[in-house]
Structure 1
Amino acid sequence: MRTQVGIIGAGPAGLLLSHVLHLRGISSVVLERRSRDHVERRVRAGVLEQGTVDTLIEAGVGDRMLREGLPHHGIELRYGGAGHRIAFDELVPGRSITVYGQQEVVKDLIEARLAAGGDIRFDVENVALHSLESQPYVTFGDGERLDCDVIAGCDGFHGVSRPSVPEGVLRTFEREYPFAWLGVLAEVTPSAEELIYARNERGFALHSMRSPTVSRFYLQVPPDVDADDWPDERIWDELRARLETVPGFTLATGPIIEKGVTPMRSFVVEPMQYGRLYLAGDAAHIVPPTGAKGLNLAVADVRVLTEALDAYFRDGSTALLDGYSAACLRRVWRAQHFSWWMTTLLHTFDEDDDYGRRLQLSHLDYVTSSEAAATTLAENYVGLPFDLTGPL
């Protein structure tokens, strides 16, 4: 087989890249080691930045998101027995977020690609990347081969793309946090209209939602925790303890339909390219989910890579491809800092660190009382405009 762009991974980055390249008349083949059912069902992020929403609409895959997604114009920071709203509609007029599950984005993209005759191959085994410096190709399955002009590595943190780069080429930056998130999906009407980020001496908690009838919750837990050690009753007791801290708020409970533990880490590789391999999304960077940046960074990478590939296949120009990593990393490091900042602002660290706790509370007071500080949070949370962090 031959195609212009071989895409490894059918997550949001790989699928969106394949779709927007198709709109530009550029051919691609997507290889995914998991089944279609697995890819469409795995629950991940659910907060879409303004720029991500705009990108999906521009790409023609935003209709269901516009019908079913939940636009939000603020979030609540809850601590010290009070709630404080960060009002996006006042601080950054015209920009907001939309709550719409990552798996729903994936479903929309798969449907669009298949309807347009796209080549997505699921359950692909033995994927290997070759000859990245000159004439790249991919082998997979039982001796099948895909020749291509470039390869996009969109296969996540544990994929084969990044390890295919020779040792010593990539520089790694990483940090692991001393806690994890226990994530819970429940069939219950959300208890609030907007997301609640709760700082509590017992640990952080987040109240989110997926639809008018399904809620999403997170609890800060030790990094080695087993989800099976948290029966439903214990989860609801702990969520009530961390969230029912303001007068008049009562947490609605219901059947828990899914739970799992998410490790908290920060990770970046530089550069995000080698030869004719270009890394995008989680293959190149991971952020703790506190800032809701993972999926949104993947979309930003795809925008940069699409423009670079379009220029290359249209007139042979390599300038944007050569600058791909630098352009992406400007936004990646801004999101890394924001995610780290939100994480340290809201989570409990060393229980004996009274000094650290007082600094944390002081900063929360500043964010919730200063329009300038609140604007900084709002501006980063809804997503910086793409033209502020590099070319499209």
Structure 2
Amino acid sequence: MTSASIGRAPFGKLHDGAVVERVILRGEYGFEAAILPFGATLQALLAPDREGHCDDIVLGHDELDGYLAQRKFFGATIGRYANRIAGARFVLDGETVQLDANNGPNALHGGLQGFDRKLWRIVELSDDPGPTLVLERESLHGEEGYPGNLAARVTYRVRSPMELSVTYEATTDRPTCLNLTNHSFFNLESARSGMQILDHRLTIVSDHFLAVDATAIPLPGPPRPVDGTPFDFRKPTAIGARIRMHDEQLQLGRGYDHNFCLAKGTDLRLAACLEAPHSGRVMELLTDQPGLQFYSGNFLDGSTAGKGDRLYRQSDALCLEPHAWPDTPNRPDFPSARLDPGQLYRRSIVYRFSTA
């Protein structure tokens, strides 16, 4: 068993010469998380398999240049608004907020230069109550069109025995909408294994999901029940078991790329469980967010070379992104994503690992 510790070293330079470090939070049994202040990005996550062998289980790049060359969101912090906002606009207190459209007619993942393209500041490194990294940045009023001067903070913490928590906090000086998450691509067999995720068994603790239109915006009306559909993951189910069924929603998303509606509440609760049959790795995801976006890696098309110069292709990894429901600022019937002055935005994700 290895003891908990923290390491840091230069990882590369931005175009303006700013140095980007790589901070490693080490836990026990070889479990560790590597974070880049660029994009507040989870660059690597090592977890042991059932034989005790540790592998990196998230997609990404071995060098900073890979992250700069293409915007693929590997492991990044997404903001100000994760997922999509229809028409790249919304109305807040009677005023239209115009955003940058960067996904067809819609705004996606914060716009053209979201939080994933910014260099965050390291403000704290500590080992109590576990190896911890705190990153901060200020998003000025009008950045990508969003109102309010926003002070944002991300805390990564490794906890015993094999657990990574990610906590987002923010305050604003005027009403705004906010929706932060992590966009890691997981393959529990190993990011370099060459194996797809279609035989990973997934459980999602949700009875309803949001059906979408051709631009991935939720359709009018209430969430749809998962019962009797390919979206029923209430029991452990292989991701590939129904992904090629003739279903309009699967066809629109080229697979799964949908928000699952989680139980109401503000406490951390189990949202999903992912199991890899060969390595035996199990990841439980807990969150206090109202939704979970399940994306089955449908648009990984071989155009990006990642770790070990491996070309990333469809079904090489999946995303489980806890966040507010997509297009919430335009949907008063959805749980609110509004943040007002005097309020503290605080949302958390916990990735808990074990083996079976």
TM-score in same-fold range (> 0.5): no
Name the structure with the higher strand share: 2
Q: TM-score, normalised by structure 2?
A: 0.30
- Comparing both chains, which one has the higher relative contact order based on Cα–Cα distances under 8 Å and sequence gaps of 6 or more? 1
Query: Which structure shows the higher helix fraction?
Result: 1
Provide TM-score, normalisation by structure 1.
Answer: 0.28
